[in-house]
């Protein structure tokens, strides 16, 4: 393996473990803490790249598994990668494909060589190896690539969690032995469920690799909120400060704030966009269900504190009408609101850290957000 190079990562301000940082990529600099909308097929559902920029999106997440199946490597190579294909000139992070194999594949066999699985589209047999995952992400042209890891659901046996940790390190080493794409950053992923000993082992082994950042995987996959937060509390003081820290699959305002307090810089989740398409609107008081009849005659905007296109121009009554009549405009307006709400919340935390006021911000919001976004029950997944 090549020796580790200097990371394109700067800590601008820090209060406790909470950090405001700059992550430099080939397609621009990301100010963190930051949230990444999920663009599974190279598109965030219902929104254009221009919409994404308008609501404050800095970086989007592309799905390696799905992009490999459709449009496929031939199209991506011919058209120069995902950036020109989707008309997005900002940073793109791609997952490794491992989570989708875990969540979607009907039949799979996992070994140290990779995952042999059947496509959820046509049943074709595919062997996803660490080397193939690296190649796919290079063809996609992502700014940040994730190593292939084995994600397992929670709760799970100690033996399964231990095997996941060991196999993820084996796969990461193979991934990193594949010749790098110039400029592409590579993040390692730590596993171990909520077992502290396994998490420590995974962190030590992964942070010793020639990577550019560390992701915390295997949370928000069925464990209650309290167990996730306890695991983050354990990991937080041990996470190498010189790396960007990425918590995968977390998206409620409460979870975002708690993780920022513990030094996490990057997040992704389908929650803001999926909830929007089902009539769930993010507010400081919790998810507002715009389908409820109480909004039928309500001329008020969704949120007077929000300046998104939805809140500036449309009433709750009209938004409810759009959902009742299944008009696509309703999905777009709700998604615009939820993403702008999330990005604004991240920006407020960035500013609070820069001003040395994050502790005050946290304590002002902690109780309210705990009520608005209560603990998940065991078996409930935030993002799937």
d(CA 148, CA 96) in angstroms, rounded, equals: 5
> Which residues, including other chains, have CB under 8 Å from residue 239's CB and lie 6 or more apart?
203, 214, 245, 263
Q: How much is the CA Rg of the chain, to the nearest whole Å?
A: 20
Which tokens hold the place of 164?
Answer: 């996941």
Domain segments of the chain as ranges: 9-270, 276-372
d(CA 225, CA 233) in angstroms, rounded, equals: 12
What H or E segment, with its residue span, contains residue 268? strand 266-268
d(CA 28, CA 44) in angstroms, rounded, equals: 19
Query: Which CATH class, in words, describes the domain spanning 9-270?
Result: alpha beta
Residues that are catalytic? 95, 268
Instruction: Report which of 244, 242, 240 is spatially closest to residue 185, judged by C-alpha positions.
Output: 244
d(CA 360, CA 351) in angstroms, rounded, equals: 12
The whole-number pLDDT of residue 120 equals 79
Query: Which phi and psi (to 5°) does residue 378 adopt?
Result: -55, 135
The residue behind tokens 């513990």 is 262
d(CA 192, CA 202) in angstroms, rounded, equals: 7
pLDDT tens by residue, the chain, 384 residues: 444 454 689 999 999 999 999 999 999 999 999 999 999 999 999 999 999 999 999 999 999 999 999 999 999 999 999 999 999 999 999 999 877 766 765 668 888 999 888 887 888 888 999 999 999 999 999 999 999 999 988 999 999 999 999 999 999 999 999 999 999 999 999 999 999 999 999 999 999 999 999 999 999 888 999 999 999 999 999 999 999 999 999 999 999 999 999 999 999 999 999 999 999 999 999 999 999 999 999 999 999 999 999 999 999 999 999 999 999 999 999 999 999 999 999 999 999 999 999 999 999 999 999 999 998 777 565 544
The whole-number pLDDT of residue 103 equals 73
Torsion of CA 199, 59, 371, 103, to 10 degrees: -60
The whole-number pLDDT of residue 104 equals 67
Distance from CA of residue 345 to its chain's centroid? 16
> Which residues, including other chains, have CB under 8 Å from residue 227's CB and lie 6 or more apart?
154, 194
Long-range pairs for 310-313 at CB < 8 Å and ≥24 separation?
310/334, 310/336, 310/337, 311/337
Do 45 and 277 form a contact (C-beta atoms < 8 A)? yes
Do 93 and 28 form a contact (C-beta atoms < 8 A)? no
Residue 333's alpha-carbon distances to 115, 301, 309, 337, 340, in angstroms, are 39, 12, 7, 6, 11
> Which residues, including other chains, have CB under 8 Å from residue 300's CB and lie 6 or more apart?
315, 316
d(CA 229, CA 248) in angstroms, rounded, equals: 14
The residue behind tokens 């992923």 is 189
The whole-number pLDDT of residue 97 equals 83
User: What percent of the residues of the chain are helix, what percent strand, and what percent coil, each to the nearest 5?
Assistant: 40, 20, 40
What H or E segment, with its residue span, contains residue 61? strand 60-62
What H or E segment, with its residue span, contains residue 20? strand 18-25
């Amino acid at each position: 393996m090549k020796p580790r190079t200097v990371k394109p990562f700067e800590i601008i301000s820090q209060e406790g473990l909470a950090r405001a940082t700059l992550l430099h990529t080939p397609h621009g600099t990301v100010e963190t803490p930051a949230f990444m909308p999920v663009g599974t097929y190279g598109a965030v559902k219902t929104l254009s790249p221009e919409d994404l920029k308008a609501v404050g999106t800095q970086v989007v997440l592309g799905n390696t598994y799905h992009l490999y199946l459709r449009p496929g490597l031939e199209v991506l190579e011919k058209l120069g990668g995902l950036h020109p294909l989707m008309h997005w000139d900002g940073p793109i992070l791609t997952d490794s494909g491992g989570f989708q194999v875990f969540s979607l594949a009907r039949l799979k066999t996992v070994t140290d060589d990779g995952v042999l699985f059947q496509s959820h589209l046509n049943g074709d047999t595919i062997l996803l190896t660490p080397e193939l995952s690296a190649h796919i992400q290079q063809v996609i042209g992502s700014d940040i690539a994730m190593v292939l890891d084995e994600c397992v659901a929670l709760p799970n046996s100690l033996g399964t969690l231990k095997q996941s940790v060991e196999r993820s390190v084996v796969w990461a080493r193979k991934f990193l032995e594949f010749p790098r794409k110039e400029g592409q950053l590579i993040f390692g992923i730590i596993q171990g469920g909520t077992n502290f000993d396994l998490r420590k082992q995974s962190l030590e082994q992964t942070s010793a690799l020639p990577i550019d950042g560390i992701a915390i995987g295997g949370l928000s996959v069925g464990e209650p909120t309290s167990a996730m937060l306890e695991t983050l509390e354990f990991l937080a003081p041990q996470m190498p400060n010189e790396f960007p820290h990425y918590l995968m699959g977390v998206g409620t305002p409460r979870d975002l704030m708690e993780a920022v307090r513990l030094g996490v810089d990057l997040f992704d989740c389908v929650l803001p966009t999926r909830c929007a398409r089902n009539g769930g609107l993010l507010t400081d008081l919790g998810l507002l269900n715009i389908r409820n009849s109480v909004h039928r005659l309500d001329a008020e905007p969704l949120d007077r504190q929000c300046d998104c296109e939805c809140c500036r121009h449309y009433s709750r009554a009209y938004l409810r009408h759009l959902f009742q009549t299944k008009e696509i405009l309703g999905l777009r307006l709700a998604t615009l609101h939820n993403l702008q709400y999330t990005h604004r919340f991240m920006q407020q935390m960035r500013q609070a850290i820069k001003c040395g006021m994050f502790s005050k911000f946290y304590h002002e919001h902690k109780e309210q957000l705990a009520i608005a976004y209560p603990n998940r029950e065991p078996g409930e997944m935030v993002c799937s």
